[in-house]
A and B are shown apart, each in its own frame.
Chain A
Amino acid sequence: MSVITLKHVRWVVASNPLTLVAASGAIIIALIGVLAPWITPQDPLATDVANAMQPPTTAHWFGTDQLGRDIFSRVVAATRIDLAIALSAVSLSFVLGAVIGGVCGYVGGRLDRVVGRVVDVLMAFPLFVLAMAMVAALGNRVENVILATAFINLPFYIRFARAEVNVRRDSGWVEAARAGGENDLSIILFFLLPNILPAMAVQVSLNLGWAILNAAGLSFIGLGVQAPTAEWGIMVAEGARFITSGKWWLVAFPGAALMLSVLFFNLLGDALRDILDPRMRT
């Protein structure tokens, strides 16, 4: 089994070398996020007005912003908070979505139809507007940005888990578990959900990039994380005022960090799907 899996992984990687780049990129970004407080060359919050608005130099690789803060340190420090928000939001919607979708897919019937209808409507609604409204209603705090991001991701997980559980509901091993005296809840939690986990993992990885974009978008418009904190969306928002006078580095570097992390997580998701999706494994 594991030999076959290894061989398959090697085949996927060989057929698309980009996979390796994506995986290493995603790992590096995750490492930067974890190690951020120890690897920033300067204090991301320390201002130095005498050296404000410097273009990139050897002392400040990414230049300095309007308050003389080192943009490189700020971009590194922001990795942590952006990844943290996206990860917590995605895990929240992953857990809730798996349970709700799992129950719907297993039980079926009217509950399934009602939830399915609500999910359909929700998915087509302007999700960013929904997130904005939620943050407005619950209060302009980071926790609520996480909640809002989790909420707008939820429909995708519900739908996915529902479909995956639904096709497995009547399979032999579920039948066997039922005959063995397991109740419905434990069949869902301990048999069906672990079984759809690999497929869900792909979904998580594909979704992470989108969650990062949403969280950064919300802080760009001034919701969630507040000003002095180093965060990609805020940094772009602050730099936006100076773009018309040609100070590109204030926007370019946090923007590039945002773009690269989304790109790597998306590519990683594609690669994981190639590796884990049983329908692709021939």
Chain B
Amino acid sequence: MRSARAIIIRVGERLLSSLPALLGVLVVTFVLMRVLPGDPAVFFASGPNAGQAEIDNLRQRMGLDQPLFVQLMHYLRDVGTGNLGNSLTTGQPVLTDLRQRLPASLELTFTAFTLAVIIAIPLGIAAAMRPNSLIDHGVRFVCTLGVCVPTFVSGLILIFVFYYILGVAPDPTGRLDIFVSAPPSVTSFMLVDFLIAGDLEGWMAAAKQLILPSATMALFVIAPLARITRASMLGVLSSDFVRTARAVGLSSVKINIVYALRNAMLPVLTIAGIMFSTMLGANVLVEKVFSWPGVGSYALDALLSSDYAPVQGFVLLMACIFVIINLVIDVLYGIADPRISVA
């Protein structure tokens, strides 16, 4: 009970202390918007022939004639009330667009992350248990190669092998084959929605669509995760308490998995957090390769057509997710190492 309370207090503290970082991102996006070439008032005016009076009028209405600080306050108010502006390309409020597309990105990222953790941690442990063995060298080789292949190349290689040569993967466009009807939207996560609807065939179709992009993303982060797991496990395995546990005669499963692994998890957690945020960035590339309708490809399309409100919205969204991720890592830290939440 006490530990649950400690966690809640800790979450509250961290949320408060992440406010300055969020505010910083807000100010930076605002400044970026101001640095942008071109006068928005001219942009929104009826056309190239718009008179100076009309532009001045628009500028006044948009608040562009106010001092910068006042404009910043207006911007903060808008963001606070959920008004992120409108996308010129889709004609919808940015918030609506982001809300529609975020689940696709999250589903992709979560799947990829789970995949990476499931593969990387056992690999790292196996390598640490037998240093300089064949498996250790194999893992090192995979790690060295893994960080060298850009996601957009590995994604295309996977498409070539599994779609073109083997023909086992579906057409690499979007979340669902066009002939499969989407499930009634409950959570907006395809896999979950299909399960709720009890449509196993549809679930398979969605999973097939998801597997290549998430494997692509996972490939890139397996290397750092496995490497840190190996290093951390090696350190823990040579420590005194493991030696004592061995001397006492505990089973090797108990020593390695229960005692050593738990102690080795802290650095892995740190790297996992950084990797998750790397994946959020890599989303943009992977979503482009697989025509995935997520927030990354949305921001990218907007960016390339000089539509800046969605880009700002996207950066803000990333900042918020980033704060949440750090919070989760922090709480997990407390669970993995009780000394932290006591302190």
* A contacts, CB < 8 Å to B: 121, 123-130, 132-134, 136-139, 209, 213, 216-217, 220-223, 233, 236-237, 239-240, 243-246, 248, 251-252, 255, 258-260, 262-263, 266-267
5 nearest interchain CB pairs? A128-B281, A126-B281, A255-B153, A137-B32, A262-B148
Chain A interface SS verdict (over half): helix
Cβ–Cβ < 8 Å partners of B150 in chain A: 213, 216-217, 220, 255, 258-259, 262
Complex Cα–Cα for A125 and B24 (A): 12
The answer to whether B159 touches A243, judged by C-beta atoms less than 8 angstroms apart, is yes
Cβ–Cβ < 8 Å partners of A246 in chain B: 160, 164-165
The answer to whether A124 touches B36, judged by C-beta atoms less than 8 angstroms apart, is no
Kindly name the residue among B29, B285, B308 whose own CB sees the greatest number of chain A CB atoms within 10 A. B285
The answer to whether A127 touches B171, judged by C-beta atoms less than 8 angstroms apart, is no
Task: Say how far A263's CB is from chain B's closest CB, in angstroms.
Answer: 4
The answer to whether A263 touches B32, judged by C-beta atoms less than 8 angstroms apart, is no
* B contacts, CB < 8 Å to A: 21, 24, 29, 32-33, 35-37, 144-145, 147-153, 156-157, 159-160, 163-165, 171-172, 273-274, 277-278, 280-282, 284-285, 288-289, 299-300, 303-304, 308, 311, 314-315, 318-319, 322, 326
Report which of A139, A217, A245, A260 forms a contact with B152, defined as CB distance below 8 A.
A217
The answer to whether A136 touches B308, judged by C-beta atoms less than 8 angstroms apart, is yes
The answer to whether A236 touches B156, judged by C-beta atoms less than 8 angstroms apart, is yes
Report which of B148, B159, B285, B319 forms a contact with A244, defined as CB distance below 8 A.
B159
Task: Say how far A217's CB is from chain B's closest CB, in angstroms.
Answer: 6
- Chain B's closest residue to A139 (CB) is B37
The answer to whether B148 touches A132, judged by C-beta atoms less than 8 angstroms apart, is no
Cβ–Cβ < 8 Å partners of B29 in chain A: 133
Complex Cα–Cα for A91 and B96 (A): 42
Complex Cα–Cα for A213 and B281 (A): 13
Report which of B33, B153, B284 forms a contact with A132, defined as CB distance below 8 A.
B284
Report which of A129, A133, A243 forms a contact with B280, defined as CB distance below 8 A.
A129
Complex Cα–Cα for A216 and B153 (A): 11
Cβ–Cβ < 8 Å partners of B159 in chain A: 243-244
**Given known contacts A126-B280, A129-B280, A213-B150, A243 and B32 CB-to-CB distance under 8 angstroms:** no
Cβ–Cβ < 8 Å partners of B311 in chain A: 132-133, 136
Complex Cα–Cα for A222 and B153 (A): 15
- Chain A's closest residue to B220 (CB) is A213
Cβ–Cβ < 8 Å partners of B278 in chain A: 126-128
Complex Cα–Cα for A276 and B151 (A): 32
Cβ–Cβ < 8 Å partners of A266 in chain B: 144, 147-148
Task: Say how far A190's CB is from chain B's closest CB, in angstroms.
Answer: 35
Cβ–Cβ < 8 Å partners of A213 in chain B: 150
Task: Say how far B89's CB is from chain A's closest CB, in angstroms.
Answer: 14
Complex Cα–Cα for A259 and B148 (A): 5
Complex Cα–Cα for A237 and B284 (A): 13
Task: Say how far A154's CB is from chain B's closest CB, in angstroms.
Answer: 15
